[in-house]
Amino acid sequence: MATMRDFEGKSFAWAFWLAAAMFSCGAWWGEVAGLGRGSRAVLLVVAGCVPLAIQLITGHGLDGAWVARFTKSGSPGQYRRSMTVAMVAAVASGLGAWLFLVGPGSG
């Protein structure tokens, strides 16, 4: 079983590309591929939650290169900023999915 220390300094760049692919599928080419509005909305929400999920699971905040660098005890300010950015991304993707894909005024 991996411990929190095992994740320190590890790159999660693969997760960036996963989130980017899910976001683009939900936002753009998902409709061309035949996905419904609900499926595309779920992809957008999940894509927005990827960075937050990584940080909650590993216990490390991600830096700009998606490397697990910041801990709550070692770099509390940077850890909080990283978590805040991840939470804003998750909320924004959920709000965007609601407004543009499944909400009452969506298109």
62-89 per-position pLDDT tens digit: 988 889 989 888 889 999 999 999 999 9
- For residues 31-47, average pLDDT: 89
Cα–Cα distances (Å) from 56 to 9, 10, 29, 61, 69, in that order, read 15, 15, 30, 8, 13
User: For the chain, what is the domain count?
Assistant: 1
Q: Which residue has the tokens 């760049």?
A: 13
Q: Which of 67, 89, 83 is nearest to 15 (CA)?
A: 67
Using the predicted structure, report yes or no on whether residue 1 has a pLDDT greater than 70.
Answer: no
d(CA 34, CA 83): 34
> Is 40:103 a contact under the CB 8 Å cutoff?
no
Question: Residue 92 has what pLDDT?
Answer: 94
Tokens of 38: 């609900």
- Kindly report the average pLDDT of the chain as a whole number: 88
Is 49 within the bounds of a domain? Answer: yes
Domain that holds residue 59: 4-102
Residue 84 lies in a domain: yes
pTM for the whole structure: 0.83
Cα angle at 48 between 45 and 49, to 5 degrees? 90
Residue 107 lies in a domain: no
